[in-house]
Structure 1
């Protein structure tokens, strides 16, 4: 099995360097340009199945990549691929959070895996739903799968591949429009390559 793991194209919140997961906006013009590069990269691949989160930015990215190559009605939306919900932290920059939620940010620094922002979810909560999704799809009989998701989700998948170790989350980057090629062969998962969008 070949799994093409794509982070959605740039959004305004990405450009403004704000924390967000649940906010649901589409792509910037540059984000659409990043999708065009992904489309060229994947144009010769026969995609059997497409998974996206419930968020507009992943759905739009998938549609821009696939164009007329895939029936849009067949794109599978799965809530387990949603980015972490940052609750009251949504739409704010880190400096704003440090000022408005000083105590909470201190707690976050001490326990980044288990900390829940007010009205949000912890990284641990997100990790286990992502893990559940990934364990499901590798059991299916598909040759080429496209997953369009979010930075936190993608890095969680990397952690799962790297011996199910959440602590490795900060050892990986995942930028807008990047694509990773994940292989599943002989009951073994591995990352064959991570390709930045700017070199596609």
Structure 2
């Protein structure tokens, strides 16, 4: 059985500014670093067989903080990168909503109809993220930490719960540095914890 410990990167400056980060991004804030340190403390007794991360700095830096003094390498996987938002990246959500209302609305309320002028669709993200999770399951029979991004984690949980893309946003975006735990055995998944932030205090 593989036990997946899933977390989203720590808070970044662009999170605060409500800018679309995608495959660009900004550094962790002091809060983002502190929250990752708190999660490290919470998980200090967990013996991870492997740690996987998106190669994007905000995720990798979070993974490195959580890793602490464990003698284990962080494996970066391009398939865990955040959705590519194309020419929306670095732009504030309010500005995008004004200029591209229908597409912006589809992004959050009608995922199957979201067809960007540049960047990726949800189907594109699904088609790279799910094989990554399946590969991790096949390679490990133990506890694995995965540090990724909001939409990537939403896709993972959609897959775990057996939902379709049109029901992607049945659940809210997982909070930064929250903890979700999923046990995976063969084709079955069992969610043990979802978006827990009790370590923040």
TM norm structure 2: 0.89
Q: Secondary structure at the match of 1:50?
A: strand
For residue 50 of structure 1, report the CA deviation from its aligned partner: 0.7
Question: Any idea what the Cα deviations from partners look like across 1:48-72, whole Å, max 9, x if unmatched?
Answer: 101101200111001111121133x
Kindly indicate whether the alpha-carbon contact (under 8 Å) linking 1:37 and 1:197 is maintained by their aligned counterparts in 2: no
For residue 145 of structure 1, report the CA deviation from its aligned partner: 0.3
Residue in structure 1 matched with residue 176 of structure 2 by the alignment = 176
The 10-residue stretch of structure 1 (62-71 or 9-18) with the greater mean CA deviation from structure 2: 62-71
Instruction: Evaluate the alpha carbon distance shift between residue 129 and residue 114 of structure 1 in structure 2; reply closer, same or farther with a 3 A threshold.
Output: farther
For residue 89 of structure 1, report the CA deviation from its aligned partner: 1.1
For residue 32 of structure 1, report the CA deviation from its aligned partner: 0.3
Residue in structure 2 matched with residue 147 of structure 1 by the alignment = 146
Aligned-partner Cα distance in 2 for 1:198–1:126:
29
Residue in structure 2 matched with residue 34 of structure 1 by the alignment = 35
Kindly indicate whether the alpha-carbon contact (under 8 Å) linking 1:114 and 1:124 is maintained by their aligned counterparts in 2: no
For residue 18 of structure 1, report the CA deviation from its aligned partner: 1.8
Residue in structure 2 matched with residue 192 of structure 1 by the alignment = 192
Structure 1 residues 73-152: aligned runs within 5 Å:
74-102=73-101, 104-105=103-104, 112-152=111-151
Question: Any idea what the Cα deviations from partners look like across 1:110-155, whole Å, max 9, x if unmatched?
Answer: 8533534332111111012111111111112331100000010111
Q: Secondary structure at the match of 2:191?
A: strand
Kindly indicate whether the alpha-carbon contact (under 8 Å) linking 2:39 and 2:199 is maintained by their aligned counterparts in 1: no
Aligned-partner Cα distance in 2 for 1:51–1:109:
27
Compute the RMSD of aligned alpha carbons: 2.1
For residue 43 of structure 1, report the CA deviation from its aligned partner: 0.2
For residue 37 of structure 1, report the CA deviation from its aligned partner: 1.1
TM norm structure 1: 0.89
For residue 16 of structure 1, report the CA deviation from its aligned partner: 1.1
Aligned-partner Cα distance in 2 for 1:62–1:199:
16
Aligned-partner Cα distance in 2 for 1:88–1:172:
26
For residue 198 of structure 1, report the CA deviation from its aligned partner: 4.6
Instruction: Evaluate the alpha carbon distance shift between residue 116 and residue 47 of structure 1 in structure 2; reply closer, same or farther with a 3 A threshold.
Output: same
Kindly indicate whether the alpha-carbon contact (under 8 Å) linking 1:160 and 1:166 is maintained by their aligned counterparts in 2: no
Gaps of 5+ in 1: none
Question: Any idea what the Cα deviations from partners look like across 1:17-53, whole Å, max 9, x if unmatched?
Answer: 1222111332111000110111011100001101101
Gaps of 5+ in 2: none
